[in-house]
Structure formats: structure tokens, C-alpha cells
Chain A
Amino acid sequence: MNWNNIITVYLKELKDSLRDRRTLISMIVVPTLIMPVIMFGVGTIMSKIMKQAQAEIVSVMVLGGTDSPGVVASLKADKKFRVVPESADYKQLISDKKIRVAVDIPAGFEPALMEGETQTVPLYYYEGELKSGIGVKALQDYFAALRDRTIEARLMERGVPATVIKPFVIKRQNVAPPEKVGGNAIGGFIPYLIIILCFTGAMYPAMDLTAGEKERGTMETLLCSPVRRINIVMGKFFMVLTASLTTVLLSLVSMGVSAGIGVMYFGSSTQAQGTQQALAAKAASGGTIPLIDPAGLIGVAALVLPVAILFAAMLLAISLFAKSYKEAQSYVSPLIIVVIMPAVIGLLPGVELNAKLALVPILNLSLVCKEMLSGVWHWDYISLIFGSSCLYAVIALMFCVRMFNRESVMFRA
């Protein structure tokens, strides 16, 4: 290795790439724009939909209830509900979203309240449909309150104090500091994003610097120089790595900035509303991102490096085999799935890091990032992952150098 030559090649590739519109777009424009678009686009739409759905009055159909006028009247009086006339095709109407929910009040419901047997009140709704779900929740709350009132009344009648059926209350108390909660909520998402960006950031320059050069005929020119091939490979490799890390870094910065703005933007509307859903929307829109443990971010960065090296070397070697940019694309595109799969598995809840999974490239990064961002540091796994990732990276780089030295690859007919 000759560092002078490597730097010469690297600086030339850097200059060349910075003059290429396609590289600029994939390296700078896409990563800076993608985060704000995801956060504000998705965040805004989500919170709008939620607000709208919650503000909407729930249309309820009351089935039966002729002998329970009190209940029906109080339902009609409740501002949350709009009671619609009864009709037999209520199930169809719910499916068609004409009404949100229906409640079947059994015969003799009201008279039985003070004395009678336990009765069943079926609520009809459409599982998975947002507004129907909100409606059935409201209706359930309404009847739960009615049940509580009924119990109280029955106890009063018998002269028993209400505490008889409420010997204690359960109160859940969260001990995790806010950043740990944030880490868990989005900790899975950040490594996933980093892995994808790391790969896509390296993809375009890797293809351009190998297959692209072959296609344009500049590869042979370069090989005419007395510089050893290993130095040419290293120069190109550092360029691809630069592109990959720039992509990741820019998107993280842009994510931080959008999160900051997001807190101001969504945060103010949260205080006004103060509801549970608005809080959830705030978390989803990045409101908790600034609360992530900075040490976790540093850990992520340290572990991303060997994976970025692995991607850069792998992509260079594979696209070097192609004769043209198009051919390289057909080799590299399917690889995205190979990369996304382990990253997605890491996102699944319940998949936990263990010694075996710590050796699976990409998946191990995804899992350990989730832990580090939520403040858990398993140093044995972390060192195992760092070590194995470095090993994979070195193997990929050596493979890449070998490919450059094979004339059947460089001069494929």
C-alpha cells in the first residue's frame, strides 16, 4: 500500500463525484430531505387524522331499548354520540362506514338494573378501523361508567360502603427516564434507517467507480498507470465509504434538526390538547429524539463504521464484475432485500440479542443499536459484534482487492 497514491486516487474520485449530479443527489439531497419529509409528512398527516377522528361525533345505532328509555335518552343527550334510527342492516352500515358502532340493549335491561341477573350488552364495531375503534371505546367507557354507577346504587341500597368492592387501587409508575422510553420507541427505527442509508449511500458511487468506469473506458486508462491495483482499490474504496458515511451523517443531522423543529411544531399543539393520543403523536413525530442518550449515538456510530466498510467493499467487488452500469444495477438491486431483511428482523419486538445473533452481520447491528439507544450496554456482545463486523469488513475488502487483480473480471469479454 502506498498512501500517496491512495490519496491521489481518492481526491480525484472525490472531485469527480462532486461534479456528478447523480452522486450529489444520492449522497446529499436525498438524505437531507428524506427525514423531514418522513417526520413532517407522516407526522402531520397522522396527527391530523387522529384529531379529526377524535373530534368527530360517533354515530351510534341503538338496537332495541324500548323498555329502557332512560338509558336511550341519556345516550341521546350525550354530546359524544349521535343516535341514528334503528335498521336491520346495521352490520352492513358499519362495514360501509355509514355508522361507527351499534349497541344492542337487551329486553328488560333497565328494569333489571337494580335487581336482576347479569346481562350482556353487545357492542358492534369494525376491528382495525380507526374511527369505529374510537367509537366503540367511547361507548364502552359510557357503559362502564353506567355499570359503576349501578354498583354504587346497589351497594348504597344495601347500606354497604363503596370501598367494600374497591379494597385497593393499582397504580403503574414508570421508572425509566424519558430518554430510555424514547430509545425504546424509536431505537429500533434508527438503526434500521442507518443500515439502509449506509447501503444506498454506497450503492451509486460503488457502481459508478467500477462498472461505470469500465463502460466509459476509463478503467483501462487508470490501469495503465504504474500505481498498484491495491492502491487504486483503496482510493476508490475510501470514496465509496465517504459517500456512505456522508449519507448517514447528513440524514442523522437532518433528523436531529427536524426533531427539534418537530418539538416546537407538534409540542405546542400537544399542550393545548393534552390528550393521550397527541402525546403518542408527538413521540412518533420525533418529539423524544433529542432525549436519546448521546453515548448511545456515539456507540451506534462506532458500530456502523465496520458495517459501512463491509457494504462499500462488497458493493465495489460485486459491481466490478459487471461490464456496464446497468448490469451492475441488476446485481446490486436484489442485495437491498438481503440487507433490509436482517434490519427488519431486528425491528421485530421480542427479538433479543444473544451470542449467536451477535455474529449475524447487519442483524447484530440492528439489535445492539436498539439496546444502546435505550441505555443498555452489554459490553461482551458489543465487543463481539464490533470484532466480528471488523472481520467481515476485512474479508470483504480483501475479496475486493482480489477481484481487482483478476483479469477475467477486469477484462471480461
Chain B
Amino acid sequence: MIEAHNLTKTFQDKKRGLITAVDHVSFTCRPGQIYGLLGANGAGKTTTLRLLATLLQPTSGTAKLAGFDVIADPDKVRANAGFLAASTALYGRLTSREMITYFGRLNGLADAEIAVRLKRLADELDMHEFLDRRCEKLSTGMKQKTSIARTLIHDPAVMIFDEPTLGLDVMTARSIVKFVRECRSRGKTVIYSTHVMSEVEKLCDGVGIIHDGRLVAEGTLVQLQARYGEQDMEEIFVKAVGGEAALEAAALKN
């Protein structure tokens, strides 16, 4: 379960002054559901997800993950969440197995327990072949699988994915999407940010469209289609953010 209440984050930037990266964002995401956060570059997706993962502290507002408050209980939130982003890389000089084991230990798991879980994850993600290779020598797809195993080793209730298919080839991207679906069917709460419209259509139970830090539209795909009178996700998106002119204006700001 993820409940965000008026999450707000501002940055002080030397050149651009005060930036409101996330502006009073509220939403709810239930177990067994995938919530898609859709937004253009610089819309505030990553910042929102970092707030949920307690990497950043909200300027105002708060959020609860698996019942724990991000401000009051950040350690418990992290213990119950798995965060995967383009910016969460692997230690190049560790092997895939060492990397996953390290994060198991950081999560307080005993080595025997880690070994059992690692075996199961490696089976599911088909990782056995490269488990003992150093991460720096892995292909992008293998790295991404290792990262996923890293986020799942402590079996978190909440999964936070920030554009996990960015820069992957079709095959790898599909296997990731398939895996995210499996997370859902195991009853995990999943939040998934992307700017790829088709992924939202295929994957998400609920959609939030974020623009310039604000959540401008929210609902299931069917609800959004009804509200904007469009079938295509891309058209819905453009209408929701206030037309192409608004998109361009926001792009110029970044």
C-alpha cells in the first residue's frame, strides 16, 4: 500500500531559483496493483519516487508505505520497499551474486536465508549463467536482472520502479515488464514511472499523469478514456497536461 498526501518537494537551484519539483501530489496505490506515473522529462517522476523511497525528505506533505510514514519511520519504509531506477547502479567490482548478497545482509538477512532466496530469484530471472561474473562485465540486460534481484532479495511489500525499461532492447524490456506483472500477482504494491505510453496501457491498473510537479489527472485507463473522450493514451496525456503548448513550455523550463 502506498498513500501519498500532498507530497511536495522544492529545490533551491543557483541558476533557476526555487524549483517545485513535486507539488502537492496525492494518490493511493493498493496491493496487487500497478500504479503508473506518466510524465514528460523533468515532470517530477524521479523526485516523487525518491520521496517514496526516503532518499529525499519532503518539503511538506507525507506518504505512507506498507503502513510506515516516510518522515517518522524512514528505515522501516526502506526495509519494506524495493527501489529500482536508472540511477541505482551496481558495484562493478562485485559479482552479481556478491551484489545481491550484500543487499541481503544490509537488510538484516542471514546468509543461509539469502542463499535460498537468491537461488529462487536466479531461477525466476534466469540468472544462473552469470551469477559469478563481475557486474562491470555484464550486458545491460544482465545488469538489470541483477538490479531487480537486488531490490527483491528482502521480499519487500512495495516495489518502486523508475523507468526500468529505459535503454533496454525489446526482449529485455519485455522480460522486465513480465516480471513486474508477476510482482503484482504476488500481491505486491507496485509503482512504475515511465514516459512510454504503451507500457501504461499494457501494464497499469491505475494511472497518474504528472506535469510540472503536479498530478493533473488520475484514474484507471477506462476512466481516463471516458473523461477525455480519447482511446489513445498519448492523446489523453496531451489533453491532460493542457495541450502541446503546455508541454513545450514545461520542456523549456528544464
Contact = CB atoms under 8 A, between A and B. Distances in A.
Contacts of B87: 217, 220
B88 interface: yes
B92 A225 contact: no
Nearest to B12: A408
A20 interface: yes
Interface in B133-157: 150-151
B89 A226 contact: no
Interface string B98-128: 1000110111100000000000000000000
A224 B88 CA distance: 9
Contacts of B106: 5, 8-9, 222, 225-227
B89 A217 contact: yes
Contacts of A217: 86-89
Contact of B75 (A15, A216, A226, A410): A226
Interface in A200-226: 216-218, 220-226
Nearest to A17: B93
Contacts of A226: 75-76, 78-79, 106-108
A411 B76 contact: no
Nearest to B14: A413
Contact-residue size bin, chain B (C-beta under 8 Å from the other chain): 20 to 34
A217 B83 CA distance: 13
A12 interface: yes
Contacts, number: 67
A224 B53 contact: yes
B55 A216 contact: no
Given A224-B83, A226-B79, A16 B91 contact: yes
Nearest to A227: B106
A121 B53 CA distance: 90
Interface in A322-356: none
B94 A8 contact: no
A218 B50 CA distance: 15
B93 A225 contact: no
Contacts of B90: 218, 221
A223 B55 contact: yes
Contacts of B241: none
Nearest to A16: B93
B41 to A, nearest CB: 14
Nearest to A235: B106
Given A224-B55, A226-B107, A216 B92 contact: yes
A228 interface: yes
Given A15-B94, A16-B93, A226-B79, A220 B13 contact: no
A8 B102 contact: yes
Given A223-B55, A407-B56, A413-B11, A228 B88 contact: no
Interface in A1-19: 4-5, 8-9, 12, 15-16, 19
B79 to A, nearest CB: 4
A407 to B, nearest CB: 5
B20 interface: no
Interface of A is mostly: helix
A12 B103 CA distance: 10
A413 B13 contact: yes
Contact-residue size bin, chain A (C-beta under 8 Å from the other chain): 20 to 34
Contacts of A218: 88-91
A22 B165 CA distance: 33
Contacts of A411: 50, 55-56
Interface string B233-251: 0000000000000000000
Contacts of B79: 226
Nearest to B101: A12
Contacts of B89: 216-218, 220-221
B57 interface: yes
B57 A16 contact: no
B37 interface: no
Interface string B66-99: 0000000001101100110111111111100010
Contacts of B98: 15
Contact of B94 (A4, A16, A224): A16
B57 A225 contact: no
A223 B83 CA distance: 10
A8 B86 CA distance: 25
Contacts of A8: 102, 105-106
A225 to B, nearest CB: 4
A220 B108 contact: no
A325 to B, nearest CB: 14
Given A216-B89, A220-B88, 4 more contacts: A12-B91, A216-B92, A222-B106, A226-B79
Interface of B: 11-13, 50, 53, 55-57, 75-76, 78-79, 82-83, 85-94, 98, 102-103, 105-108, 150-151
27 contacts: A5-B106, A8-B105, A15-B94, A15-B98, A16-B93, A20-B93, A216-B89, A218-B88, A218-B89, A220-B55, A220-B87, A221-B88, A222-B106, A224-B53, A224-B78, A225-B103, A225-B106, A225-B107, A226-B78, A226-B106, A226-B107, A227-B106, A407-B55, A407-B57, A411-B50, A411-B56, A413-B13
10 cross-chain pairs, A with B, having the tightest CB-CB distances, nearest first: A217-B89, A226-B79, A225-B106, A221-B88, A226-B78, A19-B93, A224-B83, A8-B105, A226-B75, A227-B106
